[in-house]
Chain A
Amino acid sequence: MKRLSVYLMAGRETPELAEAAVAGGADLLEIGFPFSDPLADGPVIRLAGERALAEGMRTGACLECLADVRARVDVPLIPMTYASILEAYGYERFQADTEQAGATSLIVADLPLEAAPELRRVQLVAPTTPDERIKLAAERTDGWLYLVSLTGTTGARATVSEQLAGLVERARGVTAVPLLAGFGISTPEQAAAAAALADGIVVGSRAVEIAHENDAGALREYVASLRSAVDAAQPAVA
């Protein structure tokens, strides 16, 4: 079965939203710990981060949020953040305390392979990543590999990146770990197209936007629409 991961920014509403996302069919949740200067993020997640920081979502509050989410859902939970947060909190301490709060792994958007090698985390690879490097990332990654499906920042796009198919093919050539594709996937059609190539997909900006503009019910419906699309996805014919 193809996997569906949903990203939500940490905040007051997040535990309720997390429950709705899982009810809609999410297999995995990424919880954003906001950072003031998020280089990998487009406008939607950047603004969500600004709102979260304005409501006081610093590291301590994010850990509490994570624990509250854990109390409500059983799926794997992965905090996603930036190196500056770990620098300030301490890498080991961050790993220990997120785990204590219920996290199953970590994603750090600006820690490439070579940085902090002792920190167990999901590694990201991009269309620009050479094959040998994909192999190394797959060896070091924690459970699955995050395929950044395009050269760019997070956020909805009109179509699934044409770069994704090539990236999946290159990754399949060097590793057997599951591949989840993210960045630029927002509609059920795009979810189906990306899931036909990879082992699962990650949806972030659109989920954050819906959660912000509507309510938990709307998020559940949106995730359910992605779930159906992902489940119906047929493997791409070579």
Chain B
Amino acid sequence: MNVELVQGFYGAYGGRYVPETLVPALDELEGGWSEVKDDPGFRTELEGLHATYVGRPTPLYRAERVGAGKSIYLKREDLCHTGAHKINNALGQALIARRLGKQRIVAETGAGQHGVAAATVCARFGMECVVYMGSEDMERQKPNVERMHLLGAEVRPVEFGTRTLKEATSEAIRDWITNVETTHYMIGSCVGPHPYPELVRELQSVIGHEAREQILAAEGRLPDAVVACVGGGSNAIGLFAGFLDDEQVRLVGVEAAGAASLGSGRPGVLHGARSSLLADEDGQIADAHSISAGLDYPGVGPEHAFLRDTGRAEYLAATDEEALTAFHLLAEREGIIPALEPAHALVRALDLDAEVVLVGLSGRGDKDLATVLSR
């Protein structure tokens, strides 16, 4: 199945809903992106850094001691440099920003993983880095704030509204509006105005392409289902990208029950794109609630909304308690401490009616220890 992008829309979702100031910058980014995406020089540089800096390909690991009666495979993005899949996107965007001559990067972060990835690549390429983070998230993800500081980034607390990812994203976009001539907005997920959803998906698709080859090598066949957690949805869209054309493979996204933009959302506009959102009947955006800061977001990438409507992917939910149970299970049985985000994916992977299940383990759980130990 091909997902065709028509003028920045996936079906009825996507597009550009931004103040006029940003439109020329989005045109410039789209131009830069279309130049590099098929440029062998860019590919070579990106793949070289994947191998030597990020640690790709990441392993596909069969978790034999969980999921009795089925084969659970974990795509180990937690083993990427910086501890999550976010680096794949940050690295690619840093290379694009450099080509566009932008020396200053702004980013938003929820769990802090994208903020750390952005700070990391900015250190690597000598760019200035400003990360917006909700003050509540700074509290619950303290180690990542400290890491960003060590990497030379400035972390600006966002003190209004929900004090989480939604407000941090708005504030990063406002910074971009103000400093658009010098600044690249390094968005962390497959959300935002066109071309971001496409760009982020392409930069994350390395996860799915590697995983497909690896599962074929391990099992001699495709998995019955591919399962990933969905906040904004970048690790899921990257993993799904490897299997979209394999119609026999079920694609399952797992949202936090208190932040189920796809499961219980409605069409609306947030952060520059039309998608499925947690919003009230007047279009006011609702608050999301999740134990996992990375899933605590009332929106989702437009391509996911499209995949839901077409039926190609299905979206389920997991509660905070279920995620915690899966978190402990993986730690105790497999010696892998997952981030709380992919623990949601593991919950539904374990009870899915499928034999061979491939799960996106999008990040490691060090950042969540304080949250988990306080429960």
Contact = CB atoms under 8 A, between A and B. Distances in A.
B18 A39 contact: yes
A137 B285 CA distance: 29
Contact of B160 (A35, A46, A89, A148): A46
Interface in B215-258: none
Contacts of B285: 36-37, 84
Given A151-B178, A153-B177, A126 B283 contact: no
Given A110-B19, A148-B19, A151-B21, A40 B267 contact: no
A88 B19 contact: no
Nearest to A134: B20
A234 B19 CA distance: 31
A152 B173 CA distance: 10
Nearest to B15: A115
B174 A129 contact: no
Contacts of B179: 151
A153 B192 CA distance: 18
A87 interface: yes
Contact of A89 (B24, B161, B267, B283): B283
B20 A152 contact: no
B268 A88 contact: yes
A67 B48 CA distance: 63
Contact of B20 (A35, A89, A126): A126
B16 interface: yes
Contacts of A130: 24
Interface in B255-273: 266-272
B166 interface: yes
A113 B21 contact: no
A105 B112 CA distance: 43
Contact of B17 (A115, A126, A137): A115
Contacts of A84: 268-270, 279, 283-285
Interface string A181-216: 000000000000000000000000000000000000
Contacts of A83: 17, 269, 274
Interface in A106-137: 109-115, 123-130, 133, 137
Contacts of A222: none
B102 to A, nearest CB: 14
A87 B173 contact: no
A40 B178 CA distance: 10
A63 to B, nearest CB: 11
B170 interface: yes
Give the interface size class of chain A.
Answer: 35 or more
A153 B269 contact: no
A7 interface: no
Contact of B21 (A87, A88, A148): A148
Contacts of B18: 39, 110, 112
B25 interface: yes
B67 to A, nearest CB: 40
A59 B272 CA distance: 21
Contacts of B274: 83, 87
Interface in B276-296: 279-285
A115 B16 contact: yes
B282 A126 contact: no
A111 B17 contact: yes
A84 B285 CA distance: 9
Contact of B23 (A53, A109, A129): A129
A115 B19 CA distance: 11
A151 B283 CA distance: 27
A83 B18 CA distance: 9
A75 to B, nearest CB: 25
B181 interface: yes
Contact of B174 (A114, A115, A153): A153
Contacts of A109: 19
Contacts of B63: none
Contacts of A124: 19-20
A58 interface: yes
Contact of A112 (B23, B166, B279, B282): B23
Contact of A125 (B20, B180, B271): B20
A53 to B, nearest CB: 7
A88 B282 contact: yes
25 contacts: A37-B170, A37-B270, A39-B170, A58-B282, A59-B282, A60-B282, A83-B274, A84-B285, A85-B282, A85-B283, A88-B279, A88-B280, A88-B282, A88-B283, A109-B19, A110-B17, A110-B272, A112-B16, A112-B20, A114-B7, A115-B16, A128-B25, A128-B180, A151-B178, A153-B178
Q: Which 6 A-B pairs have the closest CB atoms?
A: A88-B283, A126-B21, A84-B283, A152-B178, A83-B269, A84-B269
Given A112-B23, A115-B17, A152-B178, 7 more contacts: A39-B173, A87-B283, A88-B279, A113-B23, A151-B177, A151-B179, A153-B178
